[in-house]
Chains A and B, each alone.
Chain A
Amino acid sequence: MSITINGKSVSLPADMRVSLLDLLREHLHLSGTKKGCNQGACGACTVLVDGERILSCLALAVQYDGRSVTSIEGLAAEGDFHPLQRAFMEHDGFQCGYCTPGQICSAIGMAAEMRRGLPSVLTADLAAPEIALDRDELRERMSGNLCRCGAHNGIMDAIAQAIAMGEAK
């Protein structure tokens, strides 16, 4: 039983109770993914599984046997930044930074959802093949990621820029 984390194969823990979040943070010492509420309310633990955004705190690691997980550490080559990380810095998309890894992983998953035409509850025409990139859509789609510093405006600016430049991947 193994799971691929940021391109490397990792053995699954023997204890079935270990969440994907605790596997990352406590077993693999990948502490970029954050434990905020640990109950699915804040989004700080968001990672990508086979390109889809999920909450690693509500995921039992054993359920993800054979899957490929990308955490914030896996987004850019060593010593470099992902374009979304640069955009967050340019637009002051954080103060304390605790929600940032989850925000960035969530934004990448969200951008992929938009590219394939997934509507949101705000999308007027459910049959439309393309989703208009406006601020209300972005805010709705990112509502599962809380920022208690109140940097949401900068976060939205950063994500909007990265999507517009085709860099939210």
Chain B
Amino acid sequence: MTPFTYARARDSAEAVHLASSAGAKFLGGGTNLVDLMRETVENPQSLVDVTGLSREIEELADGGLMIGAAASNTAVAEHQAVRTRYPLLTRAILAGASGQIRNMATVGGNMLQRTRCAYFYDDAARCNKRVLGEGCDAIDGFNRMHAILGASPSCVATHPSDMCVALAALGAVVHLKSASGTRAVQLVDLHRLPGGRPDRETVLEPGELITAVQIAPLSAARRSTYRKVRDRSSYAFALVAAAAALDIEDDATVREVRLALGGVAHKPWRALTAEAMLKGTRLTPTMLRAAAEAELADAAPLRDNGFKIELAKRTIVAVLTELAGERMA
């Protein structure tokens, strides 16, 4: 591990000030960054510990929630308002990592975790994310975990978060702070597709800090869940995951539907095509399958991950069938 200096920020203003020097990085629970530093994939010159910033989970007057970026993953999953109003978020968080890691990991850190592509971790392999322009050994390598949507000739890595898939479905907003002020971006716009710059994973500017994530009220989310398909039944990253919320009338008309996929792309994948096809229609198995087909129409397989395309379609159908229950036409 390369030597670094360490400072603990008392508030977000101090954190942004401390991180203004080149080579600074924010440190949350450390569950990803410390590992990457030990592998010398990340070599920050200074760490700004932001675990002392707001970890409050505030119930807003409009019925939504404001979650401080330093809140632990466990604290968010456990919160009564999340469990009752946004069960997909509780289930997504609890489907990720292990009890120990969820206790350490922060919400901000979860969003900014790096891909688990093995070639990114292996400095004997080529990786455009580590060294832009050197090439990608995953594209022709062992790539059954890799992306089927939105990939580029530069990078086929996936974003590993479960929590972010639920936040994408919920239309969450991420609050940011930098030396030049504050701004807010949609969670689905926080992460980038790789294009020619897979080293740039988010739209954050250098030194910009995530301070909170805001979730708007969504009555459909009361009937919501998260389904994660993986190689073993616990403590594994997703092959494919789906976060879904459904508000359906007795006659099967879809009042509101939210759907996002994990394990398929460089970012949490909001399934807007499928949502648009399903909203306002009567939900039938045929309609559901057609929506899944349309969402995956542009999916492109690599050598080892072609199975993910059918798996993603079936996961979409399964999760919405589960939520529709007896109301499916």
- Given the known interface contacts A16-B5, A126-B83, A143-B235, the answer about A63 and B99 at a Cβ–Cβ threshold of 8 Å is no
Q: In the complex, A15 Cα to B4 Cα: how many Å?
A: 9
- CB of B147 to closest CB in A, whole Å: 23
A63 touches B38 (CB 8 A): no
Residues of A within 8 A of B100 (CB): 43, 46, 53-55, 106, 109, 144
What 3 A-B pairs come out closest when comparing CB atoms?
Answer: A144-B98, A143-B234, A121-B94
Instruction: Verify B101–A144 contact, CB threshold 8 A.
Output: yes
Tell me whether A100 is interfacial, beta carbon within 8 Å.
Answer: no
Binds A, one of B28-36, B173-181, B206-214, B260-268: B28-36
Partner of B6, one of A62, A121, A143, A144: A62
Q: Does A118 contact B (CB under 8 A)?
A: yes
Q: Which residues of B contact A113 (CB under 8 A)?
A: 74, 99
CA distance A118 to B93 in the complex (A): 12
A52 lies within 8 A of B34 (CB)? no
In the assembled complex, the CB of B244 is this many whole angstroms from the nearest CB of chain A, namely 15
Cα–Cα, bound, A55→B100 (Å): 6
- Contact partners of B103 in chain A: CB under 8 A: 52-54, 109
C-alpha gap A15/B235 in the complex (Å)? 32
A43 with B91, Cβ < 8 A, contacts A53-B103, A127-B83 known: no
Complex: chain A residue closest to B121, CB-CB: A39
The minimal Cβ–Cβ distance linking A65 to chain B, given in whole angstroms, is 8
Encode contact with A along B195-209: 1 for CB under 8 Å, 0 otherwise.
000000000000000
On B, residues with C-beta under 8 Å from A are 1, 3-6, 8, 27, 29-31, 34-35, 38, 47, 49, 51, 74, 77-78, 83-84, 87, 90-91, 94-95, 97-101, 103-104, 228, 233-235
Residues of the B chain whose Cβ atoms lie less than 8 Å from the Cβ of A144:
97-101, 235
The distance in angstroms between the C-alpha atoms of A29 and B256, with both chains bound, is 59
The distance in angstroms between the C-alpha atoms of A38 and B37, with both chains bound, is 12
Given the interface contacts A16-B5, A140-B234, A143-B235, does A39 sit within 8 Å of B35 by beta carbon?
A: yes
What 0/1 pattern do residues 60 to 93 of A give for CB contact below 8 A with B? 1011010000000000000000000000000000
Starting from the known contacts A40-B31, A58-B29, A119-B90, 19 additional A-B residue pairs (CB-CB under 8 Å) come to: A15-B3, A16-B4, A16-B5, A16-B47, A43-B98, A46-B100, A52-B103, A53-B100, A54-B103, A55-B101, A58-B35, A60-B34, A63-B51, A106-B99, A118-B77, A120-B94, A121-B234, A143-B98, A144-B98
Q: Indicate if A59 sits at the interface (CB-CB under 8 A).
A: yes
A58–B104 CA distance with the chains assembled, in angstroms: 9
| A-B residue pairs in contact (CB < 8 Å), sample of 22 | A15-B3, A54-B103, A54-B104, A55-B104, A59-B30, A59-B34, A59-B104, A60-B34, A65-B8, A106-B100, A109-B100, A110-B99, A118-B74, A118-B78, A119-B77, A119-B94, A121-B91, A121-B94, A121-B95, A127-B83, A144-B99, A144-B235
Please measure, in the bound complex, the distance between the C-alpha atom of A127 and the C-alpha atom of B82, giving whole angstroms. 10
Chain A residues whose C-beta falls within 8 Å of the C-beta of B87 in the assembled complex: 126
Most buried by B among A58, A59, A141, A145: A58
B98 to A, closest residue via Cβ: A144
- A19 lies within 8 A of B84 (CB): no
In whole Å, how far is A122's beta carbon from the nearest beta carbon of chain B?
9
Partner of B83, one of A60, A62, A119: A119
| Residue on B nearest A129 in the bound complex, by CB | B80
- Chain B neighbourhood of A148, CB < 8 A: none
Is there contact, CB below 8 Å, between B27 and A63?
A: yes
Instruction: Name the residue of chain A whose CB is nearest to the CB of B39.
Output: A39
A126, B91: Cα distance in complex, Å: 9
Q: For the complex formed, measure the closest distance between the CB of B239 and the CB atoms of chain A, giving whole angstroms.
A: 16
Question: Does A115 belong to the interface (CB within 8 Å)?
Answer: no
Bound CA–CA A19/B90 (angstroms): 30
Shortest A34–chain B CB gap in Å is: 14
> How far, in angstroms, from A145 to B95 measured CA to CA in the complex?
16
Question: Quick check: A58 and B83 within 8 Å, CB to CB?
Answer: no
